[in-house]
Chains A and B, each alone.
Chain A
Amino acid sequence: MFKSIAVILILSGLSAQTIEAPALEPDPISIDELERWGLFLGQRSWEQRTAAICGLDGGGFAVSLTDGTIELYRQIKPLGDPSSTVRIALPGVPLSLLQLSGDLFLSGTSTGQLFLLDLATGTRVKEWAKVPGGWQPVGLAHRESNSTILITDQLHGRVWEFDSSTAKPIHFWDGFIEPTATTSAGDRVWVTDRGWHRLIPCYDGEDFPRFDDGIGDHGAAPGLLAGPAGCVGISKRWFFVSDSDNHRIQVIGTHGVSLHFWGLHALEPRESEGRLHYPQSLVLDRNNKVLVVLEPSESRVQIFGPRDAESRPEPAEAWQRVDLISHFGRHWALDRGTPGFLLAVLEPDAERVVILDRRSENPIEIDDVGGHGSKATLFRVPSGIDFMSSSGFPRFVVADRGNRRLQMFEVRRHPDSIVIREAWVTALVRAVDLDQLALDYPDWKGSSPPRPGAVACLESGIIAVVDEASPRILLLDQFFQPLGTLGGPGQLRNPVALAADGDGILVADAGAHRIIRFGLDGSLSTIFSAKPAKDRPVPAGVARHPDGSCYWTDSNFGRLYRTDSSGTTELILGVEDSGSATPTKTAENELYRPGAVQISRDGQVWVVDHGNHRGVVLEPGSSVRHFGSGPYLPQNQRPRQPVEEN
């Protein structure tokens, strides 16, 4: 009897020892508090576009603007005026920012450089580090567990680890599609990837990230992500993730569970106070217990903290969305038929191309194609589109940056058919893997695989595609066979739009602030070139008008220009003095972050007003009409609100 009791006691003691779990390290911010995050605490916006933010030692944040200005905010709760402002001239546009120590900061630029800046003296000290084959340092972060710096290279899809004191590379993880930001949690590095739509872990000693262990996938339900653009570790177990195309911030655990999220697409143009619009970089200020959220599309930051335990969020913010919000992207194309009747719009948020019948005042959607993935007809970041001039059913070509390929589709719809939505009248014709094609075609070889961007299809059947990796223009025939290249790093900086122009190609080069024309023989002529100035245009779209003039958009200041054959440039839409713009920037003559411009055979000018989620059409008689999202239409075109009865 006593023996049995003794055995039971011994066994129970052993089992108690066996099942004892190791004590979990307490989270610096409790789960209860994380679940209440989302209280709007303040905001600041700028006329100049915001480029990057980073945290500061001792609390606060720094923000860099596209003109090289860096403002430091140490008083953050409530948000005060900047404690200091410095302007340091940088080549290109800043992409990332990090405080190295004290007054020393690192800034990555669109020219593929990473500079050491001294804010005390307002000088660019030196190029801090370089890597073979170049890079595009879009994200910078300190690694918590040691004295290293994580650098997100979007050019090669890598994350580098550098020694912060010697500026020497230690290691890199390879194979990302479009990495956007990096953070660390415990002994792992986590990377947001816009191509995978995941938060992906990387381990020391491994060369490739563990993509299959990534958190999230493309979608809108909690735990899924659409265009993740920023992340910051809260503890070893929790992150804030900037779920950009879902316009929200999620609190996600390393186990993949979404603990909480907040944010809602702005209901009115430029609305803030908790409404989010394409949030990107994040800074967690642990001293002040606030999260700083950068929204480059609105040139603003918003600051959030935990709500009081007694208060509740707005019911609308607790909605659990399951559908992706669809917006007009930056690229669209008109078909070239006679009569032309189609408009095809890239919607990167949903990774789709939407095909509309454009003959009515409000174009009618007749089909869409795409979705997220790598199988044929799917996309991972559609990045350019144009209709071909082929006879028969209209065909268009879509560039897919994430999958590094082109796909050609045919819209099997007669112009005289009934205008109804019909699934899959849009058929895939062919696709080409540009990565593989570059290996087969020696002239296309480069330091990195092609990253296709804007597309233009010439009357002759030649297809021109921007290679963002080089930068240059790749030429193919209508069977996607390589023909050659145009331009190169000396001639192009950041080409963002192309347009067919007879036996040449118009190029909107945002990096060089100019509009140029390449002949197929390699000749180059400048149509417009902006001198350095505070309101220097950043071209985003270009097209040739039947009257011989050239229309182009300026995404930075929301303008549409026309340059005639004599070189005279006039403002067509937008305001010359940004101080006279309306607060919402949605008036009839205004644009906000416009993208592509396309011109129909009969002279209609179609501008995608990307930042206002609307289309703008200039009729040949100079009248203007708008279509798209109701709240973003000009006042006189908005749907009437129901009048309450007394």
Chain B
Amino acid sequence: MDSNYEDQDGPGWWIMALLGISMVLGLVMLLMVGCQPLQPALRSDPLPFEEVPPIEAGQTLMITADGTYRVVLDFPEDPPENQELEVTGIVYDSEGPIGDDVEVYFDAGMPHHGHGLAIDVETRRAPAGRFVTPGVRFHMKGRWLLTCDVTRGAHLERARAWIMVN
């Protein structure tokens, strides 16, 4: 599915490139100023995501803003209005599907109308990086924002995507 999300937002490859450059520069600068107590935990490797399969029909790819996680969402091409559906997906980090200790929370809302889902949903983790969110109901037509929060320990990162309910 060609999601129409965040086209204008585009924190894509160039952010990753800038990130890489800034990481190297940052490390060099820290060494130069002799700032030994401050050890930045910057990533030094690119994020390969080799295990993420090609996106197929009926799937949507969501990427967290700094590219730490990729979420392959099983999502219908034409999501139904006012009918319950079960949203499932797999979350990957650079090494493969996330571990069972990582929490995932899927949600949706219509920011332009100032509301979320009419009925709150809960997300359940499953093995091999999978998650399941039953009871998702888009109760009106229009542009919906999907969000997927991935929480590992103290840290949460968000991926988002826009979809249309016709």
Contact = CB atoms under 8 A, between A and B. Distances in A.
Given A376-B156, A432-B155, A483 B40 contact: yes
Given A410-B9, A477-B40, 10 more contacts: A428-B158, A430-B64, A436-B153, A440-B154, A460-B26, A460-B30, A475-B38, A483-B40, A484-B39, A520-B33
Interface residues of A, number: 34
Given A412-B9, A429-B158, A520 B38 contact: yes
B66 A393 contact: no
A391 B112 contact: no
A484 B37 contact: yes
Given A410-B11, A481-B40, A484-B38, A430 B156 contact: yes
Interface in A359-376: 376
10 contacts: A392-B11, A392-B15, A393-B11, A410-B65, A428-B147, A430-B66, A460-B30, A479-B42, A520-B35, A522-B37
A314 interface: no
A427 interface: yes
A437 interface: yes
B53 interface: no
Contacts, number: 95
Interface range on chain B (Cβ under 8 Å from partner)? 35 or more
A424 interface: yes
B48 interface: no
B26 A461 contact: yes
Interface string A464-496: 000000000001010111011000000000000
A503 interface: yes
A510 to B, nearest CB: 27
B82 interface: no
Would you call the interface of chain B mostly helix, strand, loop, or mixed?
Answer: loop
A521 interface: yes
Given A391-B18, A393-B11, A424-B111, A483 B38 contact: yes
Contacts of A436: 153-154
A429 B39 CA distance: 23
Contact of A437 (B6, B35, B112, B154): B154
Given A392-B11, A412-B9, A440 B153 contact: yes
A484 B147 CA distance: 32
Interface in B23-63: 26, 29-30, 33-35, 37-42
Interface string A505-546: 000000000000000111000000000000000000000000
A373 to B, nearest CB: 11
B111 A423 contact: yes
A520 B39 CA distance: 12
